[in-house]
Amino acid sequence: MVKGLCDDLPMVTPLARLLVARRITQQQLAKAVHCGQASISRIVNGRTGADLAIVARIVDYLDPERAEFNELHLLYPQRFEDWRPAGAAPQQTAAETP
């Protein structure tokens, strides 16, 4: 398999997209769910399997009704690479970027 130019780019996780859309910092989320900012950073960047208790607290804080965002978005972020929060601007391709 030939390695593409974008293969080394980090995945943008659903949690990262949701935090940006809602203008919530990692520090604010960490404080709200009572865990360390480093743990939130690892989850936001998809670098670690998240602790289930922290996952539940994050989802309870961000979307208690689970209408748009749920535990699967955190546990399996690679399955939701194209997911966007409601009201978020659609992703632009390189050709569309001004």
pLDDT in tens, 47-91: 877 789 999 999 999 999 999 999 999 999 989 988 898 876 665
Give the C-alpha separation, 24 to 96, whole Å: 27
For residue 86, the model assigns a pLDDT of 85
pTM for this model (two decimals): 0.77
Q: Which CATH code, of 1.10.260.40, 1.20.120.420, 1.10.1060.10, 3.30.2310.20, is assigned to 14-78?
A: 1.10.260.40
Element (DSSP H or E) covering residue 22: helix 14-22
For residue 30, the model assigns a pLDDT of 97
